[in-house]
Amino acid sequence: MQLSELSARSGVSVSTIKYYLREGLLPPGDKTGERRALYGEPHVARLRLLRVLREVGAVPVADLKGIVAAVDDRSRSVHQMFGAAFDALTKTPDQEPDSASRARADDLVEEAGWTSVRSDSPERDRLAYLLHVVTDLGAHLGPQEWRSYLDLVDLLAAFEVNRLHPDDPAADRDTLLRRMVVGQVVFGEFVLSLRRLAHAHHSALRASDGPVQQ
């Protein structure tokens, strides 16, 4: 297909496609003339992946290269490819966590049984940072409560992964990664929105049950 059709199929503007070509984020098409080339389905899949990373994941353009390199390097497993994208999607904490918070974060990950999470995953630092903030604010969960909390989150994530990454041997690496990002980011926003609604409901129940402070 020609550039104009590629743009229509992928929902990415012609000027952005040209930028991705220059940056090496999109492989060149088959040249059919001085300024013309033909593109195929892999180009559509790559552009849809880039669009989801940019628009849904808010991944900075600078980070796209690392992700695309992981997709294109077929000596890296799907798991390693997912890892590169996970890292790009993780908010870096504003400050390095203290070692006590980091040890606490590692304990929680182990207790949850998430043994496949790399020890150098930036998400462990992010969790350590949040543990530090919560302790600072005086909120506190006991060991049994953490256990219940981790179990609930684990159920939710297992449900999402199994539902959103269906077994699909025919899917190419770009499509597998796009599905992972949608599951990760869009359903993350979903969980937060549903959770706010559930909080509003349960808070209302508590407020009407409990003593009204007037």
Map the footprint of a second copy across residues 131-190, applying CB under 8 A.
133-134, 137, 139, 141, 145, 148-150, 152-165, 167, 169, 171-173, 176, 179-180, 182-184, 186-190
Phi, psi of 178, deg, nearest 5:
-60, -45
Nearest one of 57, 20, 23 to 7, comparing CA atoms: 20
Q: How many residues does the chain have?
A: 214
Cα(198)–Cα(184) distance, integer angstroms: 21
Question: Is position 95 an interface residue for a second copy (rule: CB under 8 A)?
Answer: no
Question: Is position 16 an interface residue for a second copy (rule: CB under 8 A)?
Answer: no
Cα(71)–Cα(171) distance, integer angstroms: 13
The minimum distance between CB 12 and a second copy, in angstroms, equals 14
Total of chain residues touching a second copy, rule CB under 8 A? 89
The minimum distance between CB 45 and a second copy, in angstroms, equals 12
Q: Which is nearer to a second copy, 32 or 103 (CB)?
A: 103
Question: Is position 130 an interface residue for a second copy (rule: CB under 8 A)?
Answer: yes
Contact criterion met (CB below 8 Å) for 88 and 65: no
The minimum distance between CB 189 and a second copy, in angstroms, equals 6
Name which of residues 52 to 81 contact a second copy (CB under 8 A): 52, 56, 74-75, 77-79
Other C-beta atoms within 10 Å of 207: how many?
11
Beta bridge partners of 180: none
- Residue 155 tokens read as 């159920």
The minimum distance between CB 32 and a second copy, in angstroms, equals 29
Question: Is position 99 an interface residue for a second copy (rule: CB under 8 A)?
Answer: no
The minimum distance between CB 11 and a second copy, in angstroms, equals 10
Q: Coil, helix or strand for 38?
A: strand
Residues of 136-172 as b/e, b for ≥16 C-beta within 10 angstroms?
A: eeeeeeeeeeeeeebeeeeeebeebeeeeeeeeeebe
The minimum distance between CB 40 and a second copy, in angstroms, equals 18
Q: Which of 1, 54, 123, 147 binds a second copy (CB under 8 A)?
A: 123
Question: Is position 42 an interface residue for a second copy (rule: CB under 8 A)?
Answer: no
